[in-house]
Structure 1
Amino acid sequence: MTPIDRRRALRSAAGAAVCASLAGCTDGSPRAGAVPPSSPAAPSSPAATPPPGGRAAPAARRFPGLPAQITHGPRDRDRVALTFHGGGDPATATALLAEAERANARVTVLAVGGWLDQYPHLARRILDGGHDLGNHTQRHLSITEMPEDEAYAEITGCARRLHRLTGSIGTWFRPSRTQHATEPLIRLAQRAGYPHVLSYDLDSLDFTSPGAAAVTRTVTGQIRRGSVVSLHFGHADTVAALPALLDDLDRRGLRAVTTTELLS
């Protein structure tokens, strides 16, 4: 199948999917109802018993010498990380994963806990494809606007779901509706078991639904060695843009890897 045929096929799949997408992380929308004040216990150790049907997933790890908040990887290696905020229609997510794997690319998925509640099978699907799976809060609210106990509940709520489904709290934490975590939020994430908060240095703006061509131009026009790119599962434009984006990376000699691989 030619690259053009692949793009047409992906656009068709995206059009068929009902994209129940999450709002963009930086759109400033007011947050929904509050979490009852609480301070839940930190999630169980990543070394806990694996879930039925598979080994425990990779756990969050510390990278000595790297900051608590990571925005990009090394600039001297031909690697980039495509990171996807996990939400929206499962057919769209599956199409994106399949296209990445067709191109021998690996991605990082930061899943919303409520999305995993709806589609628990996707946690194993992501891991079975060789991708990173991490935490993007339980309900995808404006976490920097919350009191600390509510923010901690958002982090640990998603962590518990990841642990139940995979045997691990996940490889990374990314806060919801903000590019950068505050210092108090970084401390909460570390308390929950995540040594680093994963930010990004390139925002695709795909959550604004600008069209597939615009998503591709934004990413290919700004990406560089070591870039960490913010993308979303729940948007048809992203599905349609991915084949051309991956083809462009290949022409430049850039390899799309998991964030763990990018930093290792």
Structure 2
Amino acid sequence: MTSTDRRAALRVGAGLVAGGAFAGACSTSGSAFGPSSGPSSGTSPGSPSPSSPGPASSTSSTSSASPAAARPAPAPRAFPGQPAQISHGPRDRPRVALTFHGQGEPAFAEALLGEAERHGARVTVLAVGTWLDAHPALARRILDGGHDLGNHTHRHLDINAMSEAEARGEIEECARRLQRLTGSVGTWFRPSRTSRASPLVQRLARAAGYPHVLSYDVDSLDFTSPGAPAVTANVLREVRDGSVVSLHFGYADTLAALPAVLDELARRGLRAVTTTELLS
């Protein structure tokens, strides 16, 4: 992405935010999820889901990539020695993981991914199921860029406050979308509207095929729209070897802050990698 392209992306981002087009924020391969089983969005957990996501809106990405047309995405892995709920990686290696909550206008996602790739960085995207329904091509775009793609529940609601059946449905519905679009349930699960999963949600995530829940130790607070300098400062003040940083698609401040964050990480000798690489 050239400097001209970045300025254009920032102008697009500012226009989207001014128009209110941004997302609300969050304060194992052995999956049996078929493409047409389980609950659909807005139904009870026992209701059947449609065989494919509903038609995308006029602003959505192009049609979904077929798992048969590309190599299947990596499956979740267990990392021996790591806890069930991971908030950071090893503290003795100069690596950090920038993790993005996947929701919001696709223009932000494309611009943020492009900026990361220009810096040689790889990130982790935890996608919301309804976002994947609206913009299915972004799943393959994320993977083709060398990034991690994971599960951030289906509707991005307060999963810790749900009943067991509701929480299970939120996890499994998003897993089904990922399975259908990529051939895998995704490499990670992160709970929605909370930094840490309850014991119940941890158990349900493991049953859905995710050996670990992915939390974080650095919160950018970008979802509060504090301005790009504040987002940059929030990250750089706390980040260190092994950190997992929480960021969001859908905010102009995040897009504006990312180049400065990546430049300073490089100056400090910290390499931005996927969460899988961070822990490997």
Q: Same fold (TM over 0.5)?
A: yes
* Equivalence for 2:26: 25
Deviation track 1:127-165 (CA, whole Å, cap 9, x = no partner) reads: 000000000000000000000110000000000000000
* Equivalence for 2:10: 11
Relative to structure 1, is the Cα distance of residues 146 and 39 closer, same or farther in structure 2, using a 3 angstrom cutoff? farther
Deviation track 1:11-49 (CA, whole Å, cap 9, x = no partner) reads: 2242244563222211xxxxxx97524398xxxxxxxxx
The alignment status of 1:255 with 2:271, answered yes or no, reads yes
Q: Which amino acid aligns with 1:11?
A: L
Q: In structure 1, what is the Cα distance between the partners aligned to 2:134 and 2:116?
A: 23
Q: In structure 2, what is the Cα distance between the partners aligned to 1:35 and 1:143?
A: 16
Secondary structure of 2:101's counterpart equals: strand
The alignment status of 1:215 with 2:231, answered yes or no, reads yes
* Equivalence for 1:204: 220
Relative to structure 1, is the Cα distance of residues 52 and 37 closer, same or farther in structure 2, using a 3 angstrom cutoff? closer
The alignment status of 1:115 with 2:115, answered yes or no, reads no
* Equivalence for 1:43: none
* Equivalence for 2:192: 176
Q: In structure 2, what is the Cα distance between the partners aligned to 1:140 and 1:25?
A: 8
Name stretches of at least 5 consecutive residues in structure 2 with no aligned partner. Answer: 28-40, 49-65
Q: In structure 2, what is the Cα distance between the partners aligned to 1:51 and 1:34?
A: 26
Name stretches of at least 5 consecutive residues in structure 1 with no aligned partner. Answer: 27-32, 41-49
* Equivalence for 1:36: 44
> Is this contact kept in 1: 2:97–2:245, CA < 8 A?
yes
Q: In structure 1, what is the Cα distance between the partners aligned to 2:70 and 2:169?
A: 27
> Is this contact kept in 1: 2:16–2:22, CA < 8 A?
no
- Two-structure CA RMSD over aligned residues (Å): 2.1
Calculate the TM-score normalised by the size of structure 2.
0.84
The alignment status of 1:94 with 2:110, answered yes or no, reads yes
Q: Could you tell me how far 1:65 is from its partner in structure 2?
A: 1.3
The alignment status of 1:234 with 2:233, answered yes or no, reads no
* Within-5 A mapping of 1:33-182: 35-38=43-46, 51-182=67-198
Deviation track 1:65-109 (CA, whole Å, cap 9, x = no partner) reads: 111000000000000000000000000110000000000000000
Q: Which amino acid aligns with 1:161?
A: R
Q: Could you tell me how far 1:64 is from its partner in structure 2?
A: 1.1
Higher relative contact order (CA 8 A, sep 6+): 1
Q: In structure 2, what is the Cα distance between the partners aligned to 1:221 and 1:56?
A: 38
Amino-acid identity (%): 69
Q: In structure 2, what is the Cα distance between the partners aligned to 1:9 and 1:253?
A: 29
Q: Which amino acid aligns with 1:137?
A: T
Calculate the TM-score normalised by the size of structure 1.
0.89
Secondary structure of 1:52's counterpart equals: helix
> Is this contact kept in 2: 1:38–1:150, CA < 8 A?
no
Q: Which amino acid aligns with 1:22?
A: A
